Amino acid sequence: SSASPKSSVISPSSAAASRLAGQGCDLIVPTGSRAQKSGPVVLADEVKNPAMEKLELVRKWSLNTYKCTRQIISEKLGRGSRTVDLELEAQIDILRDNKKKYENILKLAQTLSTQLFQMVHTQRQLGDAFADLSLKSLELHEEFGYNADTQKLLAKNGETLLGAINFFIASVNTLVNKTIEDTLLTVKQYESARIEYDAYRTDLEELNLGPRDANTLPKIEQSQQLFQVHKEKYDKMRNDVSVKLKFLEENKVKVLHNQLVLFHNAIAAYFAGNQKQLEQTLKQFHIKLKTPGADAPSWLEEQ
């Protein structure tokens, strides 16, 4: 149409089509084909390297797991040799045995705290009931009043003792479930390192007993290197366990000494009816109590 712009009318030309086809062939060819022609292998390597690294890690992990499993089975069947540090193993056994005993003490102390809490709660309710009857029964005003004061005093001392027992429980719980547990975690890592060390030591011993030729020498050299790596790891973990056991013993003695003195003094003062000594025990160990119902001193406290 004459009204249409000239730029919209294109005359077909075989020569122009050929030139466009020759110049634009790279745009038509897919990216993969172009990469194969120009030879940029770097992109392919970048894609393959992480996968190859993962496969290599899986291979090493599988081989290490197989060796360790074989070592564990051979030890249980009595066929494989095992590296033993007698002194260190004895300390670890004592630690595990002590942990069970401390857990039992912790459990019993928690039971005592629960029972004492219930008793204190009952005593406080009984004291309130006596006080209420003291106001409403004029003929028994003094008798109900005496009993109300007695129960309130017992409840107050019970709350003080409860604070001491709960402080004892918190300290022993920290020792057992944090400090000792952290040391036992290091012990587990040490035992795993020991199994790996023995597994690679056994491999090296078996290769050294076999023939030495061009095929076996590289394997022996590689096994020697792996053995050395795991030996250094085993020695490091053994040293770490020794250091942690030493510090744990020092910390355990200090913590338990203070807590046992606190527990003894608080229990003795409570059952002796020595309120001042009971409160002094809590001040000695910097235990702050928020005792509800801090009333004026009763006639029993003034005696």
* pLDDT averaged over 10-residue windows placed end to end, the chain, 303 residues: 43 48 44 46 53 75 78 78 89 95 96 95 94 89 91 93 95 95 95 90 85 82 90 94 94 93 93 88 80 43 41
State residue 48's pLDDT score.
Answer: 53
Which pair of tokens denotes residue 118? 């219930």
Q: How many helices (H) and strands (E) does the chain have?
A: 10, 0
Are the CB atoms for 289 and 161 separated by under 8 Å? no
- Provide the pLDDT for residue 123: 94
pTM: 0.70
In the prediction, which pLDDT does 290 show? 59
Q: What is the DSSP letter of 175?
A: I
253-288 burial string, b = 16+ CB within 10 Å, else e? eeeeeebeebbebbbebbeeeebeebbebbeebebe
CA dist., res. 261 & res. 259, Å (int): 5
Using alpha carbons, select from 246, 280, 287, 244 the residue that is nearest to residue 265: 280
The amino acid that residue 271 corresponds to is F
Domains of the chain: 104-281 (1.20.1270.60)
User: Within 13 Å, how many C-alpha atoms sit on residue 193's CB side?
Assistant: 20
Report the amino acid identity of residue 259. Q
For residues 7 and 200, what is the distance between their CA atoms, to the nearest angstrom? Answer: 80
Instruction: Say if residues 134 and 151 touch (Cβ distance below 8 Å).
Output: no
Output helix, strand, coil percentages for the chain, rounded to the nearest 5. Answer: 85, 0, 15
